[in-house]
Structure 1
Amino acid sequence: MKLRLLVLTFLWCSSQLFAQDYFPKNDGVKSKNNNYTAFTNAKIYVTPTQIIEKGTLLIQNGKVKQVGNTVTLPKNAVVIDLNGKSIYPSFIDIYSDFGVEKPKRPSGGGRTAEYEPSREGFYWNDHIMPETNAVAQFKYDAKKAKELREAGFGVVNTHLQDGIARGTGVLVALNNEGTDANRVLDNKSAQYFSFDRSVVKNQSYPTSLMGTTALLRQMYSDMNWYAQGKSDTRDQSLEALIANKNLIQIFEAKDKGNDLLADKIGDAYGIQYVILAGGDEYENIADIKATNAKYIVPLNFPDAYDVSNPYQAGYVSLEDMRYWNQAPANPKTMAENGITFSFTMYDSKSSSKFNENLQKAISFGLSKTKALEALTTVPASILGKSAQIGSLQPGSFANFLITSGDIFDKSTTLYENWVQGDKSVVNDINTIDIRGDYNLPIDGTTFNLSITGELSKPKLEVKQDTLKLSSKLSYADNWMDISFNTKESEKIYRMTGMARNNSDELSGRLILPTGKEAFFKAVKTKSFTEKEKEEKTEETPKIMAVTYPNIGYGNATKPVQETILFKNATVWTGEAIGILENTDVLVKNGKIAKIGTNLNGSGAKVIDATGKYLTAGIIDEHSHIALLDVNEAGQNSSAEVSMEDVVDNEDMNIYRNLAGGVTSAQLLHGSANPIGGRSAIIKLKWGESAQNMIYANSPKFIKFALGENVKQSNWGSFSRFPQTRMGVEQVFINYFQRGKEYDALKKSGKPYRYDQEMEVIAEILNGERFISCHSYVQSEINMLMKVAEKFNFKINTFTHILEGYKVADKMAEHGVGGSTFSDWWAYKYEVNDAIPYNAAIMHSQGITVAINSDDREMSRRLNQEAGKIVKYGGVSEEEAWKMVTINPAKLLHLDQRTGSIKEGKDADLVLWSDHPLSVYAKSEKTLIDGAVYFDIEKDKLQREAIQTERNLLINMMLKEKDGGKPTQGPRKKDKEEFNCDSL
């Protein structure tokens, strides 16, 4: 009978839990349990800043009813006395994949890339999937939910973490007792985006970060156009974007640079993203703050490197060492700068690692109040759910934690996590704390017991005098079983007993080695809490200073414009006045203010340049340094992408180029397709943001390409058009004709769909954008000039142009410049006819000729490359020098601003130790806009400082290892160095 009643009771309770509240109840007499539960005498954190001492929390039907010091308890209230305990709101993670399985990448690498979408009725790109609704794929994972609750979480916001446009998320309460009918708090909680392609879609485009960026921009333009009802066909993806545009928009960036890029995309379309951070925001905190975005911050700090082997320690860069040291201070830095952020378990190895890193962030200066806000009120506010979750205000869900004390204290025990009024036990709240040091006398011998560890999982150490004995302890439901062996296991003692509250002793039944039963009593000599306080004294972490950029040779402060007077230099002006001996040059306000003799610069820093050479900074017309990507190879045209989106301001090659006298460079797209991407023209302002390196009012350029690369001879693709050189010509004709028609429609005033790609082609046709074309053989060079003339525009520059000497007369007639190598030839089949006299011959025909690098090593020796032109062809020294200064400036339409020493021009200057064309010449100072970005004396000091800092960090890491903390193996991170055909 009793069993039957229990079964009936269970079935009744189950029916209450798993049925929606509007379901008819016609299977018996039912009544709803409306009892209250009151938690009294607790320290209650209603919010991180509203704290009630000795307060009462009253809940009913899964909601908070009242909270305060003077709460009137209803008659049907169950009262739980929490004297000495604390109550906190349960945590919220708004960037999770809980219950939504991420697709797995197909096994094997033999998949053929597809250039067309696999779906009909959806967006033209398979990686755009905003129609995805996570709730449709959601499956509650009770095991994972238990793990999250034990970490303190009560609610997660989850979504499908796959693709660029990922669809909507679902907000879920981690309540094992309920069903999705009451667990799901919002089935469309936010809309998600990322820079990562889908792992299961084969469509090849995009293959790069810049391609993804362009795709997102086109997607938003198409969304706005579609919303106007102009489309003749239905697009379920765009309809989903439109339907969800008023939701919270969350963007997975995962890097300080990508944070800014995501925000830039959003700003262009009036969207303020909430951004998943990378943990390195402290390195660029001013720009991060300027986004006005709210951030979701992972706590995935790296372990120290094992640098015990001095040779292997050399593999670890100073950048990585600094990141280990500085990353835990990222939350503190964001908080100090007024940036709103929440925490997420995203990318954490485990819940215990998350909590460990949370405490580490606090030890690095993050206040506990800010930490609690980042786990409760802030994520609730970001989602617009502050009335429901994140606090214990009346009306909110009864999601709360019961702890033994300060939740961020290592010794605190989390007892219970209540979600929607349902209790989940993490550690038994009635567990008696037996931890401490004890004396145990047995038969005239005193054993010393030390019990440490977690409250519910204590650890035992037994000593006889100074000898440590083998011992075991199990502890559950306040029952303890203890055993230990004396030396060489000659005697075994076994004990069992029940712990008692407020007792300074442990007692119970003892089994002696002889098998005889007895009584034991261990008397406490020292409490565990006192020992913990002694162990807690840790050194305040020493955090290395952030530099600009935050890698070796970074600047402690960003260079600023100075007033500088160079005295008695040999000045290679690059102008008609030629070379001036014993001449002074005054730099002021970032410009070349005066050129002459006996100049007096009031308040200027005077530099004695006697016996030295002052020139304009070198300009590299064709470079691939300082880029995160180089090729968008997913289509035969990538005119829509821009290298400005992928400028890498931390590339060490910037500094090395400055040391070689380079001050400006055109960062070109690669040559994977006939029509490449738009260029970025930068000044090598080491330490500035990527955006601040790009020329103000930058001339518009785009990379085209001819030859082996674009027809894919070199990487074996047989599915993308074109496959032949004649196919390349048809690509150009097709795109220019389409661009012409697009431009005509745009100018007609009739409605049209904005197309980034066609906008760029129209700019070329209208003379607003210039082509720099990768080229080799004369037949293709002739072909492209004829195509351009057919559409009534001119090619600006043929770069590489290693058969330019064959068609120099035709190039001069067309009006195109040539940017070539000094003496590269025969490195692939189509270069077989290259000669070192190419530059001299083109120059002799009146062509503007530049010498470029296309290579990170050659670019820092372009002064020597120019020197070769004197040898090969008899070009004068001055004319050869112009090929790396004023001539590339002319080709880039920058010659009114830089490229020569002339009053009023930008102070982009280099002071050389020797003749600038000599192999012995060193740049002693390199200036850009009047600020010194390279100084050879400062460089020597930086080398010493880097070695000192490395040694300091190595010693800190060795201390981590010696202290038993986890480490990771040293590894060398080689940055990919790009050239034209890098994929």
Structure 2
Amino acid sequence: MRKRLPVLLLVFLCSITLHAQEYFPKNDGVKTTDNNYTAFTNARIYVTPTQVIDNGTLLIQKGKVVAAGNGVSVPDNSQVIDLKGKHIYPSFIDMYSEFGVQKPAKKGRGRRSPQYDASRKGFYWNDHIMPEKNAVDKFLFDTKKARELLQAGFGTVNTHVADGIVRGTSVLVALDSTDNSDMRIIGQKAAQHFSFAKSVASAQNYPTSLMGAMALLRQMYRDAKWYAAGHAENKDMSLEALNANKDLPQIFDADGYQNDLRASRIAKEFGLQYILKGGGDEYQRIREIKATGASFILPLDFPEAYDVSDPNQAGKVALSDMRLWNQAPGNPAALAKNDIPFAFTLAGLKKTADFKANLMKAIDYGLDKTKALEALTTIPAGLLGKSEVIGSLKNGSYANFLITSGDIFDKKTTLYENWVQGDKHTINDMSLIDVRGEYDLAIGGNTYKLKITGEPAKPKAELKSDTTTLKTKLTYSKGWFNLAFSPKKEGDTGFVRLNSLVTAPGSLSGKAILANGTESTWRATKKSDYEKKDKDDKKDEKTIPEMVPLTFPNNGYGFAQLPKQENILFKNATVWTSEDEGILENTDVLVKNGKIARVGKNLSAGGAKVIDATGKHLTAGIIDEHSHIAATSINESGHNSSAEVSIEDVVDGDDINIYRNLSGGVTSIQILHGSANPIGGRSAIIKLKWGLPADQLIYENSPKFIKFALGENVKQSNWGDLQTIRFPQSRMGVEQVYMDYFQRAKEYDAKKKSGKPYRFDYEMETLAEIINKERFITCHSYVQSEINMLMKVVERFDFNINTFTHILEGYKVADKMKEHGVVGASTFSDWWAYKYEVNDAIPYNAAIMQSQGLNVAINSDDAEMSRRLNQEAGKTVKYGGVSEEEAWKMVTINPAKMLHLDQRVGSIKAGKDADLVLWSDHPLSIYAIAEKTFIEGVPYYDYENMKQRQQSIAQERNRLINQMLEAKNKGEKTQAPKKKEDKHFHCDTEVYGI
């Protein structure tokens, strides 16, 4: 008999396989076979978010949807599951995930010096460009994490290695945690991924800045085109992969609206369309976001309220951060309202379990439920090009769906099951009977009042004897109801324990073990169903804080409505023309259509707004030739030449220093690259149009400038002991850098002009513009010997230096500068002796250079000094006896000439831009207040309005603090207050200690 048992068992199992329903329990789910169907009947089925079937049938087979509808014919060999009163939704998709792939370990800092060259052979010259990497090669299914995602409703994730500027391809994975793993990989190369962040696995220095990352991406795309055309001499596996993956969805981790716009500009340049993973602040510039034409992946990691219960700590929190907490949950609704396609991602959430609560918050803040469902299903499927298999319950799609007790976006709804590719994953027992309600409980002659509340799968019990509430514990699992309580009667020291197998609604009865150990029976008779009472409602009530108004930019001094251009007549002003006419008393200035129309006496308004300027002074707006405000990075220090980078890429229109400069009468600035290298990056020349997006600040047809540098910084003499391998390390090495690069640029330009094929090089293009006198040099300089050196170098290549900035030993070489043909000398008024190479600086420098016929300007190089340049100019009257009029020209028409903008700005003359400042007093006086600052006739700053804004800021802060206190009192999570540090850039910022 023992020998026959295995044979009989095998026959029995085969019989089951051939003739029974052909499914077996596997893990926590049901594994369907190839032959049987499963039919889910009488459900509300969301085939798509907009195609909904009531009392419908969903039929699946072999892990896919066969049919969904009202008239579906159910085959005989079907398992039928009645879902009356329940809902079916497509499972969710996260198209920006790191599931199952591990980010590489951060490169150790064991090196004694920086790494400038790539560590790989046969790949791209920069280690942070890795399109050849494929997440599928590193993927390992994480069952524990998959369970979390399944419980949150997700069935599919697009996962990638979130490391590097070009990160390679992602893998599209079904979250089937059963043994049926052969179908998990839906797409081995689902998308190609990008970011602005370097790889943690490489120590290669370049790029060290955001603008460097942007320049690197541009050069990479140019190189890929060159490579694809067959011009490259050596095999490059990175460029091959980049070109091979160009038709995949291109996902860019921008992580904030400003970088959204920056990434979109790169995409536009190369005929691409990125899918942008945003930062949750896109609502702040929704018009510009919409104009990108991009689709978005939105995080749901809304900021927590600050714990502002301590008034001293509350003062640390910036108003802009308070606003972000208040406004960010409305970001998805803002995109939806503007018809911008978006998908949701779990990225950024501290816990997957926070997903539903944050999603519900987004809905509370105005997001339509249909749009929310689209963002989790059809839109990510479409963006990944997989609409035929995921994201819906259309015929042929994978059987990825959720079974819920009701509306999936209702807090009370229970998610029962998450089916992935036809395999069931139980989240909550669907057969569990709802026991909530109010009962009369009888045990051995004693009666109690039992109230069961909470969630169906996690009920809570309250038991009373007369008016006494008893200590109670309730567990309810797999149909078994277990209740224990302390009876609180004299002589009773233990607990009464009750249990019951719940088989029908409203029926609770079973065995009881009394406190003394005696066995008895009990019965609970239901008196009423569970309904939320006022107390419960208040506990779960969500009071949505009133959203504070959005401003441009979105801080306390932003505009609720952007100011409009005005036609203005200034009457009876003291007009500082900065022209040959000099200073005009009791003079009128008429502004029309953003231009200065007329300057004279007794002008008529002609419908213009009249401003009585009696006793006041009207000047052209101040121009700062050397500034570092309004940018997110200043130095690209990864190479000794960074001519390929541009400050225009990193202009920050939200920088509060723009407003502060307007308050000091500044209307135009040149944002210069820093002094990290002999050849720096290209400049950005902007108007301080507060409230406008960054790209609208840049001058139209802007003159082309670039920053060069001499001195200590470029040869790394002050960078630290380990920074000693980058060439140059000496002054003679600095000279050789210029010689080498100009010679290379000359040869590059000659080849380009020859008509022969050439590899486009952004760095050489920029330097060739210099040689061709199409781009102008502003050079950071101090010491006379170095100034002489650079003039001699560039003379060999037949051009000259446009501007020496700082130029603190200019008084020693002013005659030679004049002979060389330097357009301008931009200096400090009275800085000296703050480092070794300025030991010979004197405050008479500006006056001496002017006396030698040089065009002299006073600049700031500092965010604080830039808003009092009027006073800095005034110092030249004291130091050197410069006239007041000539001193004023040093911050108006003189820098305008240096920047080749004097035909547009810098003086009050008919036909020029109406960039004007109305001062309360003599503009060189420390008592002068810039009452109004106009740019092209638009009032971007008003002193009286500023004072009103200060009052409204205090009121708004108080309002937001009260909202956050209320949030804390309701038990919401909070974070500790932290101060937002304003970073003031200088030439050497991000140089020392790199």
Q: TM-score, normalised by structure 1?
A: 0.96
Instruction: State the one-letter code of the partner of 2:561.
Output: T
Shift of 1:818: 0.5
Shift of 1:106: 3.7
Cα deviation 1:422-477 (Å, max 9, x = unaligned): 11111111111122343435567654433333322323333445554432222211
Task: Tell me the residue number matched to 1:508.
Answer: 510
Task: Tell me the residue number matched to 2:855.
Answer: 848
Q: Is the CA contact (8 Å cut-off) linking 1:62 and 1:421 kept in structure 2?
A: yes
Instruction: State the one-letter code of the partner of 1:646.
Output: V
| SS of equivalent to 1:424 | coil
* Structure 1: distance between partners of 2:11 and 2:383: 44
* Structure 2: distance between partners of 1:419 and 1:514: 50
Task: Tell me the residue number matched to 2:937.
Answer: 930
Instruction: State the one-letter code of the partner of 2:72.
Output: V
| SS of equivalent to 1:34 | coil
Summarize the Cα distance change of 1:586–1:472 in structure 2 as closer, same or farther, 3 Å threshold. same
Cα deviation 1:542-582 (Å, max 9, x = unaligned): 11111000011011011211111111110000000000101
* Structure 1: distance between partners of 2:489 and 2:356: 40
* Structure 1: distance between partners of 2:114 and 2:783: 30
Summarize the Cα distance change of 1:844–1:95 in structure 2 as closer, same or farther, 3 Å threshold. same
Matched, 1:696 2:700: yes
Shift of 1:400: 0.3
Structure 1 range deviating more: 577-586 or 538-547? 538-547
| SS of equivalent to 1:422 | coil
Instruction: Give runs of aligned pairs for residues 489-500 of structure 1, distance below 5 A.
Output: 491-500=493-502
Instruction: State the one-letter code of the partner of 1:961.
Output: K
Instruction: State the one-letter code of the partner of 1:219.
Output: M
| SS of equivalent to 1:666 | strand
| SS of equivalent to 2:497 | strand
* Structure 2: distance between partners of 1:643 and 1:488: 80
| SS of equivalent to 1:102 | coil
Task: Tell me the residue number matched to 2:525.
Answer: 523
Matched, 1:774 2:780: yes
Task: Tell me the residue number matched to 2:896.
Answer: 889
| SS of equivalent to 1:546 | coil
* Structure 2: distance between partners of 1:565 and 1:524: 83
Instruction: Give runs of aligned pairs for residues 377-456 of structure 1, distance below 5 A.
Output: 377-442=378-443, 446-456=447-457
| SS of equivalent to 2:375 | helix
Structure 1 gap ranges (5+): 14-30
Cα deviation 1:811-831 (Å, max 9, x = unaligned): 111121100000000000001
* Structure 1: distance between partners of 2:895 and 2:868: 16
Instruction: Give runs of aligned pairs for residues 557-576 of structure 1, distance below 5 A.
Output: 557-576=561-580
Q: Is the CA contact (8 Å cut-off) linking 1:479 and 1:496 kept in structure 2?
A: no
Shift of 1:586: 1.1
Matched, 1:207 2:208: yes
Summarize the Cα distance change of 1:538–1:176 in structure 2 as closer, same or farther, 3 Å threshold. closer
| SS of equivalent to 1:714 | coil
Task: Tell me the residue number matched to 1:863.
Answer: 870
Matched, 1:965 2:969: no
Instruction: State the one-letter code of the partner of 1:749.
Output: G
Task: Tell me the residue number matched to 2:732.
Answer: 726
Instruction: State the one-letter code of the partner of 2:546.
Output: K
Shift of 1:500: 3.3
* Structure 2: distance between partners of 1:364 and 1:443: 53
| SS of equivalent to 2:819 | helix
Summarize the Cα distance change of 1:923–1:81 in structure 2 as closer, same or farther, 3 Å threshold. same
Summarize the Cα distance change of 1:486–1:713 in structure 2 as closer, same or farther, 3 Å threshold. farther
* Structure 2: distance between partners of 1:159 and 1:246: 17
Q: Is the CA contact (8 Å cut-off) linking 2:481 and 2:502 kept in structure 1?
A: no
Instruction: Give runs of aligned pairs for residues 278-289 of structure 1, distance below 5 A.
Output: 278-289=279-290
Shift of 1:509: 1.9
Q: Is the CA contact (8 Å cut-off) linking 1:493 and 1:510 kept in structure 2?
A: no
Task: Tell me the residue number matched to 2:616.
Answer: 612
Structure 1 range deviating more: 971-980 or 671-680? 971-980
Shift of 1:480: 1.7
Task: Tell me the residue number matched to 2:951.
Answer: 944
* Structure 2: distance between partners of 1:820 and 1:466: 85
Cα deviation 1:856-878 (Å, max 9, x = unaligned): 10000000000000000000000
Task: Tell me the residue number matched to 1:197.
Answer: 198
Q: Is the CA contact (8 Å cut-off) linking 2:176 and 2:421 kept in structure 1?
A: yes
Matched, 1:545 2:549: yes
Summarize the Cα distance change of 1:229–1:404 in structure 2 as closer, same or farther, 3 Å threshold. same
Structure 1 range deviating more: 515-524 or 200-209? 515-524
Shift of 1:330: 0.4
Instruction: State the one-letter code of the partner of 2:498.
Output: T
| SS of equivalent to 1:46 | strand
Structure 1 range deviating more: 457-466 or 216-225? 457-466
Summarize the Cα distance change of 1:224–1:880 in structure 2 as closer, same or farther, 3 Å threshold. same
Instruction: State the one-letter code of the partner of 2:844.
Output: Y
| SS of equivalent to 1:711 | coil
Summarize the Cα distance change of 1:907–1:509 in structure 2 as closer, same or farther, 3 Å threshold. same
| SS of equivalent to 1:474 | strand
* Structure 1: distance between partners of 2:509 and 2:72: 42
Shift of 1:516: 1.9
* Structure 2: distance between partners of 1:147 and 1:175: 12
Cα deviation 1:147-175 (Å, max 9, x = unaligned): 11111011111111100011111111111
Task: Tell me the residue number matched to 2:292.
Answer: 291
| SS of equivalent to 1:560 | coil
Instruction: State the one-letter code of the partner of 2:913.
Output: D
The alignment-based identity, stated in percent, is 65
Q: Is the CA contact (8 Å cut-off) linking 1:58 and 1:67 kept in structure 2?
A: yes
Summarize the Cα distance change of 1:57–1:945 in structure 2 as closer, same or farther, 3 Å threshold. same
Task: Tell me the residue number matched to 1:329.
Answer: 330
Q: How many residues align?
A: 966
Shift of 1:482: 1.3
Instruction: State the one-letter code of the partner of 2:640.
Output: N
Shift of 1:505: 4.7
Cα deviation 1:20-79 (Å, max 9, x = unaligned): xxxxxxxxxxx9641100000000000001101100000000010011111111110110
Summarize the Cα distance change of 1:932–1:488 in structure 2 as closer, same or farther, 3 Å threshold. farther
Instruction: State the one-letter code of the partner of 1:162.
Output: D
Q: Is the CA contact (8 Å cut-off) linking 1:364 and 1:541 kept in structure 2?
A: no
Q: Is the CA contact (8 Å cut-off) linking 1:495 and 1:508 kept in structure 2?
A: no
| SS of equivalent to 1:229 | coil
Shift of 1:401: 0.3
Cα deviation 1:314-351 (Å, max 9, x = unaligned): 01111000000100000000000010000011111112
Q: Is the CA contact (8 Å cut-off) linking 1:508 and 1:521 kept in structure 2?
A: yes
* Structure 1: distance between partners of 2:529 and 2:961: 37
Summarize the Cα distance change of 1:50–1:806 in structure 2 as closer, same or farther, 3 Å threshold. same
* Structure 2: distance between partners of 1:182 and 1:813: 77
| SS of equivalent to 1:214 | helix
Q: TM-score, normalised by structure 2?
A: 0.95
Summarize the Cα distance change of 1:448–1:882 in structure 2 as closer, same or farther, 3 Å threshold. farther
Shift of 1:236: 0.4
* Structure 1: distance between partners of 2:594 and 2:630: 23
Matched, 1:664 2:668: yes
| SS of equivalent to 2:272 | coil
Q: Is the CA contact (8 Å cut-off) linking 1:775 and 1:800 kept in structure 2?
A: yes
* Structure 1: distance between partners of 2:401 and 2:201: 39
Instruction: Give runs of aligned pairs for residues 430-829 of structure 1, distance below 5 A.
Output: 430-442=431-443, 446-464=447-465, 467-486=468-487, 491-500=493-502, 502-531=504-533, 538-716=542-720, 717-816=723-822, 817-829=824-836
Structure 1 range deviating more: 472-481 or 626-635? 472-481
* Structure 2: distance between partners of 1:927 and 1:121: 56
Shift of 1:601: 1.5
Task: Tell me the residue number matched to 1:375.
Answer: 376
Shift of 1:719: 1.8
| SS of equivalent to 1:972 | coil
Instruction: State the one-letter code of the partner of 1:739.
Output: A
| SS of equivalent to 2:425 | strand
| SS of equivalent to 1:302 | coil
| SS of equivalent to 1:856 | coil
Q: Is the CA contact (8 Å cut-off) linking 2:686 and 2:699 kept in structure 1?
A: yes
Summarize the Cα distance change of 1:458–1:547 in structure 2 as closer, same or farther, 3 Å threshold. same
Cα deviation 1:769-795 (Å, max 9, x = unaligned): 000000000000000000110110010
Task: Tell me the residue number matched to 2:24.
Answer: none
* Structure 2: distance between partners of 1:850 and 1:121: 51
Instruction: State the one-letter code of the partner of 1:401.
Output: L
* Structure 1: distance between partners of 2:538 and 2:841: 76
